[in-house]
Structure 1
């Protein structure tokens, strides 16, 4: 599954944090330390015991910032999202609540006086995969519901022009009018084996070498795809089952 060419230059992401929630933090720390570098260990959290008991699966969780969490939560519920448990304290003293969006994907909502400024400033400027993803896409079986929810609650703009990648319908997503796309919405309604989720792409120096490490450390690797902008992409699963993407300009 591939995406339109990511607009890496000038990309501004409204995700104020992206963190791994997993069932085995030690194993995940070793795996991502080998694949992405030692700094990745700081991005790993344990799935709370009560969530694990309810069947929560390991995921890379994107946290969206808002300066008015109460109003945003009310909008999300009106637009078809579901809150997953009570808010909890997150990184940087932010209160984070988990939500299932109108298409079924899980994301976090952070209430913080600085969340809006952090989102505006969060532009990747280096090749460190452990800082921020270089791209993200939302796998969704009901694009109309998800796009209405993200547009209504966060003001995101879903590009009206439809692009197709490997036979899949894809829409670029911008954080606001005039901004470069920071993500894409992918219609997976015809792919019953793909569950709804945000998939985050991380930068590596050379793709084939990184994929060899993924395999050696117990992860799984999907097909390698050439992106329209000349970059290379592979979608992987870590040993605990969390999906992530690896991108590089060098094969």
Structure 2
């Protein structure tokens, strides 16, 4: 499970890009109860989204050359420059080279061989998310790609992950464990890409009542795909915010 005791290769940050920062902040505040804090003009009014003073996500204003609004998952690394080189050597791409974020940390934006975007984060003053797995915070990440073998080899080479097939219904579900974690350290999974979709990482937010959250999302202008229940996992739904950034919500089984 996710924790805020970050190990190399674990999800440590997520943020969404938006063409309308205030509208996105209002949507997620209404959905999850987040309160936002601006980092000021020197950080382009980047918003820290918080619950009880603990940061659970970020939202940034889309630049003119940004792709469609989306959530971006960041993975913890002790050395952003070294891992950027490893990513290229393993067949991935570095789409935004390592750069310092004014004392907060050092980051790079990358893509795996299938084209799914992700980022790496070398912490400075910003050590990572302050809350995970609690209601309104990140509970899981999932990679959606066509075929698993090539990307499994890539991420194993880059982060040293152990990826284990777990039974889920009629098909195995590859589950991701960090290199330095134990049997309870799973942080994400890999899902088969749906026809016509593009490879992506999808964040799951824990919520106390999936169906109530779905209803709220629709009222706030979000798009919702039908919720489903997965035995021994929980009830979940795929959503998109009013600008099209996709995410999921889950009410985990006890």
Q: TM-score surpassing 0.5?
A: yes
Worse overlay, 88-97 or 76-85: 88-97
Which of 37, 61, 67 is residue 46 of structure 1 equivalent to? 61
Q: TM-score with structure 2 length normalisation?
A: 0.79
Q: Which residue of 2 aligns with 1:195?
A: 198
Q: Whose strand fraction is larger, Structure 1's or Structure 2's?
A: 2
Unaligned runs of 5+ in 2: 37-46, 49-57
**Which contiguous aligned blocks of 4+ residues in structure 1 show a shift greater than 6 angstroms?**
8-13
Cα RMSD over matched residues? 2.8
Count of aligned positions: 230
- Name the CA distance, whole Å, in 2 between partners of 1:149 and 1:140: 13
1:145 partner SS? helix
SS of the residue 1:142 aligns to: coil
TM-score (norm 1): 0.80
Alignment of 1:41-190 (within 5 A): 42=48, 43-50=58-65, 52=66, 56-90=67-101, 93-112=104-123, 124=132, 126-127=134-135, 129=136, 132-159=137-164, 161-165=165-169, 170-176=173-179, 178-180=182-184, 181-188=186-193
Q: CA deviation at 1:194?
A: 2.5
Quick check: which one's helix share is greater?
Answer: 1
Q: What residue is the counterpart of 1:4 in the other structure? A: none
**1:78-98 alpha-carbon deviations (Å, 9 max, x no partner):** 111111133344486112211
Do the aligned residues in 1 keep the contact of 2:80 with 2:98 (CA within 8 Å)?
no
Task: Provide structure 1 residue ranges, at least 5 long, that are not aligned to the other structure.
Answer: 1-6
